[in-house]
Structures are given as structure tokens and as C-alpha cells.
Amino acid sequence: MSKVKIFSGESSLYLAEKIAKAYGKPLGESTLQRFSDGEISPYFGESVRGADVFLIQSTFPPTDNLLELLLMIDAAKRASAKYVTAVVPYFGYARQDRKDKPRVSIAAKLMANLLSAAGADRIMTCDLHADQIQGFFDIPLDHLDGTSIFIPYLKSIQLPDLIFASPDVGGVKRTRAFAKFFNAELVVCDKHRQRANEVASMRLIGDVEGKDVVMVDDLIDTGGTMCKAAALLKEKGANSVRAVVTHPVLSGNAYENIENSVLEELVVTDTIPLNRESSKIKVLTVADLFAGAIRAIHEHGSISALFIQS
């Protein structure tokens, strides 16, 4: 069997080190050269000929992170790697997955095309913004599920009157998986937007009187929707409100929104590093999840054992 070699892009080094440690193998040697005009050039400091290469890089801003990943894929293929897997814990541009108005790009499909064109043989990611994005790829894609990170934590805190809430209609399927596992009820916060990142109105579908509510979402950006939904849930009689969100994008005034909200806590993963600490934000690692998936892929095994079944 070919050797496994794990490399990291510059922005995901903090997570790649944990994944490599969980896998039981040191990170491969790589460097990123920068020209004076900002042009980047990644370089592998060791041979990858005939190896199964795993390149870890989330594609959060700036866009250099995406370009670095594409260049690393190209470099690995040109260095005769046997098989190249792009490990993208957070897959950026996934919110642009359809034409919701005239004359716009379907950026998620373009990102999929770029990764394939660069030479990736396989993609591994976690909690895409929409499941159907998997169909944008013409190469195998392993879509890992954040429930295996959050469910053990929620079990450990033993909330007495647990109920799950989706902050919007689009997240009902994701939220239902949690509700089904805990045999709990589900409510929905139906929102109406006038423009991106701005909620015009919101109403609650369901009853949360005296309940401990857990909201579920794939990402949190400015936090406007989540904080407004939390306030609505408390207004409707919820005993406590917390949220579990896979990708902490947290842009703009997100940290202030969260600190000033009625949320008990916001539980996120380390697919994206936090810009600063917050007393309300708890971070869980996805390192063991991705290390297990890398091992399963290399050994031609199934990754279904990594999922928590409802």
C-alpha cells in the first residue's frame, strides 16, 4: 500500500497539526514562497512520488487560501503523487449554489470545477451549506457530518427539556437529524430577508414554552439571524437558548452580536480559526473526525462508521 503524506496550507496549519497528530503521522514539509508583488508559490520539501497525498486547507477569506490549495494540488500532481485528496474542512463560496436572481454566478459549482481542473482526485469536506452541492463535483466527494462532533457534547450537558430549533426553513433537514437522535421536538424560525446578511422579519413555528432550545446551523456569519432567532425564542418562553454551528465565519460585528445576545453559548468547530476569544463561544475540534476519514480512504474502507445514525 502506498504511503500517506499529509500537508497543510498556511491558513489551516493550526488544524492540520491536530489532524496529523490524531492520525499518528507528522505533517509533511512544505513552504509557501511569496514574491514582492504578493504572488504565492507553494513548494513540497520532500518527495511525494507514488504517495497518497492529503492537502488540508479551508477556503475561508482571503481568496489566497483557495489559490494556495489549487497550486498545492497542481504541484502534487506534477510531482507524481499517486492520489491527491483535497481536505477542505470549510468549503467557501458554498452559499452561492443557485441563481437566486438574474445575472449572478453559481460560485459553488465554479469552485468544484477549479478543484477538479487543478488535478484533485477526491474532495473531503464537512457540512456543506446545501447537500446538493455534492452533485457539483465530477470526482468523489466525502461529505462528513458535524453531528458526530456535537451530539456527544449535547449528551454531556444533559439539558432537561430539550427541543431543537432551525433558524430558517432551509436548515430543517439538518436540525431534524438532531431532533430524531434525541427523540425531541422541532421548531422553526421562519425569516424573511430584504438583502444578504440582513433579516427583515421573523416568526416562530412551534411552541418552546419552558424548553431548553438548541439551534442548529451549518455556519454563522454576522450572527444577525442567530441572535434575532434566540431573542424570539426567549420572548416565546424558552428556558434557555444555545446554538451549535459547524463553521464560525464570524465576520463584521459578529462577536459583539453574540456577546450582547441572549444565547447561553455558541458551540462551534475549528474548521475556521476564531479571530478572538469570547466567553460565549465554545470550540470543539474536528481533528479526530478528519483523521478517521483519511485513514478509511487510504485503507479503502467505509467512512459510514464515522457518522452517528439517528
- Give the tens place of pLDDT for each residue, 236-247: 999 999 999 999
The pTM score is 0.93
Indicate whether 310 belongs to any domain.
no
Average pLDDT in the chain: 93
Indicate whether 113 belongs to any domain.
yes
Total tally of structural domains belonging to the chain: 2
In this structure, of 73-87, 106-120, 166-180, the range with the lowest mean pLDDT score is: 166-180
CB 144 within 8 A of CB 136: no
Whether residue 75 is found in the same domain as residue 199: no
Q: What is the pLDDT of residue 198?
A: 57
Cα dihedral angle (208, 214, 220, 223), rounded to 10 degrees?
50
- pLDDT tens column, 287-300: 999 999 999 999 99
Whether residue 117 is found in the same domain as residue 241: no
Amino acid in the structure at residue 13: L
Indicate whether 139 belongs to any domain.
yes
Q: What is the pLDDT of residue 179?
A: 95
Which residues does the annotation mark as catalytic? 191
Name residues whose C-beta falls within 8 Å of residue 206's C-beta, 6 or more positions apart in sequence: 165, 185, 186, 187, 188
- pLDDT tens column, 147-186: 999 999 999 999 999 999 998 888 899 999 999 999 999 9
Whether residue 140 is found in the same domain as residue 47: yes
pLDDT band of 2, cuts 50, 70, 90: confident
Q: What is the pLDDT of residue 169?
A: 84
Whether residue 25 is found in the same domain as residue 141: yes
Element (H, E) at 167: none
Indicate whether 237 belongs to any domain.
yes
Whether residue 139 is found in the same domain as residue 11: yes
Indicate whether 90 belongs to any domain.
yes
Specify the CATH number for the domain of residue 202: 3.40.50.2020
Whether residue 277 is found in the same domain as residue 299: no
Residues 102-121 as b or e (16 or more Cβ within 10 Å = b):
eeeebebbebbebbbebbbb
Domain range for 111: 4-145+287-305
Whether residue 138 is found in the same domain as residue 21: yes
Whether residue 173 is found in the same domain as residue 88: no
Indicate whether 158 belongs to any domain.
yes
Name residues whose C-beta falls within 8 Å of residue 269's C-beta, 6 or more positions apart in sequence: 89, 126, 146, 149, 246, 247, 248, 283, 284, 285, 286
Q: What is the pLDDT of residue 29?
A: 96
Q: List the binding residues for ATP.
A: 37-39, 95-96
pLDDT of residue 132 exceeding 70, the answer is yes
Indicate whether 52 belongs to any domain.
yes
For residues 129 and 293, give the distance between their C-alpha atoms in angstroms, rounded to a whole number.
Answer: 20
Whether residue 139 is found in the same domain as residue 165: no
- Quick check: helix, strand or coil at residue 48? coil
Indicate whether 162 belongs to any domain.
yes
Cα dihedral angle (189, 108, 223, 180), rounded to 10 degrees?
40
Whether residue 139 is found in the same domain as residue 162: no
In this structure, of 38-52, 93-107, 189-203, 286-300, the range with the lowest mean pLDDT score is: 189-203
Whether residue 138 is found in the same domain as residue 28: yes
Q: List the binding residues for Mg(2+).
A: 129, 168
Whether residue 81 is found in the same domain as residue 101: yes
Q: What is the pLDDT of residue 194?
A: 58
Q: List the binding residues for D-ribose 5-phosphate.
A: 193, 217, 221-225
Q: How many helices (H) and strands (E) does the chain have?
A: 8, 14
Q: What is the pLDDT of residue 70?
A: 98
Q: List the binding residues.
A: 37-39, 95-96, 129, 168, 193, 217, 221-225
Amino acid in the structure at residue 55: L
Q: What is the pLDDT of residue 148?
A: 92
